Amino acid sequence: MFFVKTLEHRIDLHPSFFSASAPDFIREKLYQDVEGTNTGTFMIIAVLQIDDISEPKIAPGTGFAQYNVGYRAMVWRPFRGEVVDGKVTNVVNNGFFADVGGLAVFVSKTMLPPTMKHNAEGSTPSWSEADGMIIEKDSQVRLRIKGIRGELGQMYAIGSIREDYLGYLNL
């Protein structure tokens, strides 16, 4: 789910950037530092607005200036039970992997409809069903997130397509 969230980020500025254009550097650096990062619970999609840049403090012993930047950002946080769309990246014999934005989701074979069969022959391994639904690399799938675990900078999730209206998406 997408949210707009107020966040804070500390930026250390090297003395060589101390000038009238320091705020520009700060802005630039903020975009570089935070956009696209993953905190372990959510992903920062984009910085919407910079609310305030604090007065700098000189860090003792280094000469770097520390700015606290408050900003509002669009974040994406996946929840357990949420239904999301993703793209299959790899098909293996005990399930398949899909990317949902920056989130790697694994769908285990126990989470696939029991009628689906794994085919390892041929150039691309796939999961297929008698009615022609084939999940292979680069297929679009809709899945329900069953579990999420976050580490700093990385999130893992388990998905399921063992429900009605989930699975292969014909877009």
Partner 1 sequence: MRLNTPESLLYPITVTKLLHQPGDDIEQNAPLFTYEYKSTVTEWDPDSREDVERIKSFYADFESELEGNITSYNVRKGQVLQGRTNVAEIEEACKHEIQFGGICANCGKDMTTVQYNSTAKNTDRATVNTVHGHTQLLVSQAEASRADEEAKRRLLDTKKLSLVVDLDQTIIHATVEPTVGEWQNDPSNPNYDAVKDVRKFQLIDEGPVAKGCWYYIKLRPGLQRFLELVSECYELHIYTMGTRAYAENIVKIIDPDRKFFGQRILSRDESGSMTAKNLKRLFPVDTKMVVIIDDRGDVWQWSPNLIKVSPYDFFVGIGDINSSFLPKRPELEAKPSKPANTDHAATADSPDTSSQDASPKVAATAPAATTTNGDVSAVDRLVSMAGNQDEGSMKEKIDEQDEQITEQLENRPLLQKQKFLDAAEEEARASPAVEAAAELLANNGSETEQEVLPHPKYRQNLLQDDDTELGYLGQNLSNIHQVYFDEYQKAKAGAKGGRVAELRPGHGKKRSVDEFEHIPDAAVLMASMKARVLQGVNLVFSGVVPLGVDIHSHDIAIWAKSFGATVSENISKRTSHVIASPERRTAKVRQAAKRGGRISIVTQGWLFACFTQWRKLPEGPYRIHSDAPINGSARLPDSFEGKDEGQLSSSDEEAALTEDETDPGTKTPNGLSIATDVEDLEKLMPSMDRADSSPTEQEEPDYWADINDELDAFMGSDADDDSDAESVKSDSTAGLKTPPSARKRKRDAESEQGEEVNEEASDSQLQKRKKEALSRASSLTQMVVPSSNGSTPAAAPTDPGGGGGEEDEGDDDLEAMLAAEMERESDDEAGTAA
Binding site for partner 1 (CB under 8 A): 80, 90-95, 97, 104, 106, 108, 110-111, 120-125, 137, 146-149, 151, 154, 156-158
In 104-142, which positions are buried (b, 16+ CB within 10 angstroms) versus exposed (e)? bbbbeeebbeeebebeeeeeebbbbeeeebebbeebebb
- Select 92 or 169, whichever has its Cβ closest to partner 1: 92
- Select 9 or 160, whichever has its Cβ closest to partner 1: 160
Q: Tokens 């107020």 sit at which residue?
A: 6
User: Shortest distance, CB of residue 67 to partner 1, whole angstroms?
Assistant: 27
- 150 forms beta bridges with 155
CB atoms within 10 A of CB 96: 29
Tokens of 163: 């429900």
- Select 72 or 87, whichever has its Cβ closest to partner 1: 87
- 119 forms beta bridges with 126
- Select 47 or 158, whichever has its Cβ closest to partner 1: 158
User: Shortest distance, CB of residue 27 to partner 1, whole angstroms?
Assistant: 25
User: Shortest distance, CB of residue 113 to partner 1, whole angstroms?
Assistant: 15
User: Shortest distance, CB of residue 5 to partner 1, whole angstroms?
Assistant: 24
State which amino acid sits at residue 74: M
User: Shortest distance, CB of residue 75 to partner 1, whole angstroms?
Assistant: 20
- Select 10 or 149, whichever has its Cβ closest to partner 1: 149
The C-alpha atoms of residue 120 and residue 109 are separated, in whole angstroms, by 14
